[in-house]
Structure 1
Amino acid sequence: MVDMPPGSPTVQEADEAFTPSKHPLVPVESSLNLDVELKLPLDDGDGDEIDFNGIDEDLRRFQTDDIVRQALSQGVDLRGYSRDIETELREVEMDSVREYVSQSDKVLELHNEIQGCDAILARMQEMLLGFQADLGGISDEIRHLQDESISLNVRLKNRRAAEARLAKFLENVLIPPELASAICGDEVNERYLDRLVELNSKLRYVLQTGPVGDGSSLDVAPADTMTAREVRPHLEKLRAKACARARDYLLSRISELRKPKTNVQIIQKTALLKYKYLVQFLSENAPETAEEVRNVYIESMGRTIYNLFRAYQAQLAKLELEIATKTDLIAVEEAAVRAMFTNKVDLTKRGDAFTLGERDKILDMVEAAPILVHVAQAEGSRLPYEVVLRSVLKHLVDSATSEYLFTLEFFRGQSRDTFHRIFERTTALCVENLETYLFASHDAIGLLLMIKLTHAYRLVMQRRRIPVLEAFFDRFNVLLWPRFKMVFDANLRSVSGATPRKLGTVELTPHYVTRRYAEFAASLLALHSGLDSLVLGIGGEEMLINDRYFRLSLQIHGKKSQVVFLINNYDQVLTVFHERRIMADETTKFEELLAHERESFVEEELKQRYARLIAFVQANESLPEGGGVDEALVEGLVRDFAATWKSALEAINQDVLASFSNFRNGMEILKQVLTQLLLFYTRFQEIIRRHWRKQPSFAKDLVSTNAILVEIKKYSTFYAV
């Protein structure tokens, strides 16, 4: 069945419209002619002329048509052609009408079917309109249900949020039975600390007077809620119970620190630091109890450390070795050290107070372990006081480091005050013991070593970033520096005020004052590095150089012996300085003095054996040629030198070896004497050559310089071997 478009005529209507009987006044043929005949009026009936503007365009379009163009090319008459076309159209129309009439039954049947379909479609339309009305109601209901669902979802979220806040509030306020039983009955252990943290959290919560930031109190101060007011008395009881148990536990553990032979650090780590939250809990909830615990710890730990250091220093004092007494000065008179029942005294044997030796190795042992007293006693050791002090300071800085770190973690904000109160008696004990030692100390080297040790341990504490002993080190320096200056000045005064004839026997060998001064100066200069505030004896060395040595040498008879004495003493000082590798202004001064006295000895030695020869050279060297030179005198000098020069060299060699205790120094002086002798004899020969153009009769007795050089080399080679 063919669907008809809306508003289309039915089949019957269409049949009636095309039936000729319906229009008797218009024959079919005439109706067709109306369409065929074309009239081209020149106006449109209103007197207006027809517009031919578009006819040219139509003509051009017709010319492009293939059929029209072909007809025109063949000369076809368009009018006849038009009539033929109309005839054919009329025939086709008649055939269509006849065909339509022959099919009228089928058209009628189709018309009926279409009407039936229209009725069905009408009923379906009614049903669909009913469905549309029902769906509209359902849509409104669905929209209503959706709104209800959104509203319920919002209320559900609000209730859940309120439930979460309320649950958190109840969690922060209510006291679980297991919490109460744990606080009151459980053993103090790590689990107990967890319960204590929970209790402290609840106490903080119920005491808040403003809204909680997490919203658990529903923007109401917890302290203003009825629940908090009801629970607070029970929490207060639990807090009191917890504070009492924390106090009992801490005091019981602190009391163990007082027991003899107790490992304090083990108790601190396992029994106190592990439960440091107990102190924090007491500080927040019972400040008086927390202060009581701190005071008990300070008293207990302070007494323990004090007793340990007192016993340790008392044991070390038994091992102390006295290095110097008040008579151990650079220059000391015999009467000051002479024994009561004897007149013999050996001032050369006591030099420990001035010799550094290996005592400075103590500065490399700053981080070494302290002395074990029982081991030192078993070995029969005797220790200088700086060794004792190093062990005490090492114990002190290690104990101070450990205790400060403990108090910093255990007592937090009160760590520094706690530390100073614990070590107050101990540091006072160390200062008191040092004062006792310094009262009778005359060991300048030991004092300087102790100053450097104090400085070294100050640096140790600074590297550890624990500056809690600065005041203690300052007190040590205040005691050590004045005593060192007093001892140092006493040695200088001993030199400046001594009477040479009372300083013992003066021989050609180095004097004991020289050895003491050399060792003392070398020791202080070696330790001077790093101590810029030390001014080493301004003027002290000048007194020794310009006054004491000269006055001591005057006790020796003979100019040459006095020069030998000065050379030996200056060489002794330089030998000690070189052994200690002292490179200072003092070294340069003594080197200059030694060089000057060597020149003096060479002059005295040659004058003793060749005074006439030297005097002749010095007197006649500047005379012109042909001047008045005494030939007999020259001949005598030549023959005398030729006869004695070898024996003179041997005598000079023996004299030098006997005069100078230092072999190297003697060899240098021997070389200078022989070299100077060779120079004088060469100058003597030059005078002879200038005044005698012809060789004089005594020329055969002149000794060649080569022969003298060969002999000098023999001595050099012999001593080199």
Structure 2
Amino acid sequence: MEPFRETSIASFDKKDWEAIDELLRQGTDSQPPVQDRLEDRPDSHTVETGFIPQETLNSLLETLKTGANINGTLEIVQSALRQAESRCVEEYVREGSKVTNLRDQILQCDAELNEMERQISHWSARLSRLSKSTREYYDEAALLNKRLLQQKQSHGTILQFLENATLSSELVSGIIESHPSSKQFVQHLVELEEKVQFLSKPEVRESAAMKDIQPFTRKIIFRASEKVRDHLQSKIQLLQNPNTNVQIIQQNVLLKQKEYFRFLHHCAFKVYKEIQNSYISIISQVYQSLFKKYVEGLVNLKEEVNLKGETLVEASGFQLKSSSTSSTSFFVLGKRIESLRCWEEPALVLAIAREHHQRLFIEEIFRCVTKLLVDTCTSEYLFVLEIFAAECNSMLTQILSEVVSLCFHVFEKHLSSTFDIFGCLLVMKENEKFRDRMASRQIPFLDDYFVKIDILVKPRFQELMQQNIQSIAQASSKLLFPGQENISPLALTRRFVEYVSGLIQVAVEMNDKDKMLEESIKRLGVEYLSLLNRIGNHYTRKKSRSLFIVNNLDLICLVLEEQKLDQTEEYSFYESILSKQVTTIVDLELEEHFADFMSLFNRYSKDHSVIANSNESSLKKIFQEFSSNWKKSLEHIRDNTLDNFPNFERGKEVRKKTMTRLLACYREIYQAMEEQHIISSHTSTFPSVNSLIQEIRKYVEESI
């Protein structure tokens, strides 16, 4: 091998040498160790991990780095390579037999594997054929199973058809021989109804078997419907027995025949309509008879009210001299309000009312009749709905239309020309109550009746209210004037407040906003206040006029308080006017007894400089006059409040307000004069504020 030339080494730079060094290191480090896989390898032989010794490589690297002559080193490397090559050839020759044996073994294994592959392919083909056969058997079994199910279903359908279409001997004998009221008959009737419903299906009617079955089935249905018709007729005719409670017959007898009605409705509709018409005819006659007897009996007990059409005040030439306190007065509501409060109570029993000789106002008659009508309508509606279902509305009209007409004509006769204003009002409000109740029950049958009653009563009530308002507006104040010395409340005021309180009671009881009623009450009150003012103008003394108005207003408020109506707007209206009139009386009373002093106070309240600018002697003169008669004046005021006010409590209130007002005025003037040094609390002979308080307290406590 030709050695390297030095000139060739000089062509490498530093980076090239570093790269060669790195490649050599990588070649050495990546050389894997040789492992002997043969079992018969001799233990004495050792395989080197490289062809070139490590010392030689290190020497070569040092030479390359220093740039010295590397020929000697290269020869050593070439010798090492030749030795390694010789060892490899020797080792290959030595191990050749083993390689040959290994090759033979590999070929034998390959042959065995090929045989195994052939066997596996053979069995795989057989398994594939078995799987196909199994799938074919499974599909055939599923098809057979489906055919079997279809056959069973067809067989079951045929059996069911035969069972539903044919009439068993037990069923036929049960229908013919059993008594209609027996449980066995009802059971057979239900079974027959089910068979008829089955045979009425379109797909069944078109079957060929119907030609043989239908004639016999019709005969059995006809026989059963005849027995059911006779049975139901006998039950319905129980309603015609005298003194029979219709609802008891319906609930305890007819409702138990529901299966019979249903059978006729589904299987013998003509017979069903016959029974239905028979029931309508009988029950309508029963109700007409019962209601006619009941209404006529109640009307015979009617309490006649205001037959002459008297108003609160006659248009001319009428003067009331005594108050009406009778509970039966047509201007007093009294206990008649109970009819409205107890509107849901059961209707009166006619026999009991006759036995106790009761007298009934029109509103109580209306309540009883309408309550009975509402309850009858409700119970009949529920019964008809249960038995006849969809036809209940038309049936209810056929059953109760004559009864409703009878009731309305009775009230039309007695209410269209009545002068009983409370009767009209209570009937109107009771009608609203019953109307709302039927609306909550969702039974519209009586809607027309309620509307007609409302149209009948409301205009009549408005007409009567207008008559009374006009009677007050047109009343002669001169004829009603009681005289200069009489300041007591009018008897007309008593009648008026009883009348108004009755109207207010009804409005409060209803707890609704009836604008028509509220407006009527307001107009009535305004007209009566106007009448009181007109009467009061006939008094020559202003104080008498105020006392007259206060006493009348006091009576109005007192009656409203007795009726527990002191929380109403009407009471507040009259109370506010009364308070103003009481203030007027207080001022008039003080002016009457302390004219100069009150004149001074009135001037001082407008201008506080009056005391300072007034003559001291004139002021002292006023106080001297006050001092000389103030005790007698207080006593006289006490006597006036006792004499002028029929209501002791009202007189006490006026006395207290009068004396309290006097004390306030005196304290204010007294302090003003002290500030001006006109009088002194230590040296003055005028009554002190405390002495006035002590004297006033005596009269105030005296009234307690």
TM-score by length of 1: 0.71
Quickly say closer, same or farther: Cα 1:624–1:230, change in 2 above 3 A.
Answer: closer
Distance 1:395 1:694 in 2: 85
- Is contact 1:638–1:701 with CA below 8 Å preserved after alignment? no
- Is contact 2:557–2:574 with CA below 8 Å preserved after alignment? yes
Corresponding residue to 1:499 among 456, 470, 476: 476
2:377 alignment counterpart:
400
Gap regions ≥5 residues in structure 1: 1-52, 65-145, 211-220, 338-343
- CA-to-aligned-CA distance 1:24-45 (integer Å, 9 cap, x gap): xxxxxxxxxxxxxxxxxxxxxx
Computing the radius of gyration from Cα coordinates, the structure with the larger value is 1
Distance 1:206 1:545 in 2: 82
Deviation at 1:565, TM superposition (A): 0.5
Distance 2:323 2:228 in 1: 70
Deviation at 1:518, TM superposition (A): 2.5
Deviation at 1:403, TM superposition (A): 1.0
Distance 2:531 2:695 in 1: 40
- Is contact 2:340–2:430 with CA below 8 Å preserved after alignment? yes
- CA-to-aligned-CA distance 1:248-287 (integer Å, 9 cap, x gap): 2222222221221113233223432222233233333433
Distance 1:606 1:716 in 2: 16
Corresponding residue to 1:259 among 224, 241, 244: 241
1:592 alignment counterpart:
576
- Is contact 2:565–2:571 with CA below 8 Å preserved after alignment? no
Letter in 1 for 2:180: V
Alignment of 1:400-549 (within 5 A): 400-503=377-480, 505=482, 507-528=486-507, 529-535=510-516, 536-537=518-519, 540-541=523-524, 543-544=526-527, 547-549=530-532
Corresponding residue to 1:558 among 541, 547, 550: 541
Quickly say closer, same or farther: Cα 1:443–1:169, change in 2 above 3 A.
Answer: same
1:217 alignment counterpart:
none
1:571 alignment counterpart:
554
Quickly say closer, same or farther: Cα 1:397–1:618, change in 2 above 3 A.
Answer: closer
- Is contact 2:473–2:528 with CA below 8 Å preserved after alignment? no
Quickly say closer, same or farther: Cα 1:379–1:288, change in 2 above 3 A.
Answer: same
- Is contact 1:182–1:192 with CA below 8 Å preserved after alignment? yes
Letter in 2 for 1:252: S
Deviation at 1:561, TM superposition (A): 0.9
Deviation at 1:306, TM superposition (A): 1.9
Distance 1:667 1:626 in 2: 37
Distance 1:388 1:481 in 2: 18
- Is contact 1:247–1:293 with CA below 8 Å preserved after alignment? yes
Letter in 1 for 2:224: A
2:179 alignment counterpart:
187
- Is contact 1:184–1:242 with CA below 8 Å preserved after alignment? yes
Quickly say closer, same or farther: Cα 1:646–1:237, change in 2 above 3 A.
Answer: same
Question: Secondary structure of 1:276's partner?
Answer: helix
Quickly say closer, same or farther: Cα 1:58–1:569, change in 2 above 3 A.
Answer: closer
Distance 2:285 2:680 in 1: 103
Distance 2:229 2:37 in 1: 125
Deviation at 1:434, TM superposition (A): 1.6
- Is contact 1:570–1:594 with CA below 8 Å preserved after alignment? yes
Deviation at 1:659, TM superposition (A): 0.7
Letter in 2 for 1:671: K
2:615 alignment counterpart:
629
- Is contact 2:481–2:535 with CA below 8 Å preserved after alignment? no
- Is contact 1:334–1:503 with CA below 8 Å preserved after alignment? no
Quickly say closer, same or farther: Cα 1:591–1:148, change in 2 above 3 A.
Answer: closer
- Is contact 2:240–2:282 with CA below 8 Å preserved after alignment? yes
Comparing 456-465 with 620-629, greater Cα deviation is found at 620-629
Corresponding residue to 1:706 among 690, 695, 702: 690
Alignment of 1:709-720 (within 5 A): 709-720=693-704
TM-score by length of 2: 0.72
1:117 alignment counterpart:
none
Distance 1:686 1:392 in 2: 75
Gap regions ≥5 residues in structure 2: 1-33, 46-137
Deviation at 1:158, TM superposition (A): 6.5
1:309 alignment counterpart:
291
2:19 alignment counterpart:
none
Deviation at 1:568, TM superposition (A): 0.9
Deviation at 1:548, TM superposition (A): 0.9
Q: Does 1:375 align with 2:352?
A: yes
- CA-to-aligned-CA distance 1:645-682 (integer Å, 9 cap, x gap): 22221111111111111222111111122223334444
Deviation at 1:509, TM superposition (A): 1.7
Distance 1:57 1:704 in 2: 150
Distance 2:37 2:447 in 1: 123
Deviation at 1:510, TM superposition (A): 1.7
Quickly say closer, same or farther: Cα 1:60–1:421, change in 2 above 3 A.
Answer: same
2:193 alignment counterpart:
200
Letter in 2 for 1:629: N
- CA-to-aligned-CA distance 1:449-503 (integer Å, 9 cap, x gap): 3233222223333444444333322222222222222222222112112222344
- CA-to-aligned-CA distance 1:133-164 (integer Å, 9 cap, x gap): xxxxxxxxxxxxx9999999998876655543
Alignment of 1:677-696 (within 5 A): 677-682=662-667, 685=670, 689=674, 693=678
Corresponding residue to 1:178 among 170, 173, 178: 170
Deviation at 1:544, TM superposition (A): 2.7
Deviation at 1:689, TM superposition (A): 4.5
Letter in 2 for 1:261: N
Distance 1:183 1:434 in 2: 53
- Is contact 2:416–2:456 with CA below 8 Å preserved after alignment? no
Distance 1:625 1:440 in 2: 71
1:290 alignment counterpart:
272
Distance 2:464 2:340 in 1: 21
Letter in 2 for 1:532: K
Q: Does 1:385 align with 2:362?
A: yes
In the comparison of the two structures, how many residue pairs are matched? 570
Letter in 2 for 1:707: S
- Is contact 1:501–1:555 with CA below 8 Å preserved after alignment? yes
1:665 alignment counterpart:
650
Quickly say closer, same or farther: Cα 1:268–1:444, change in 2 above 3 A.
Answer: same
Letter in 2 for 1:592: S
Comparing 515-524 with 565-574, greater Cα deviation is found at 515-524
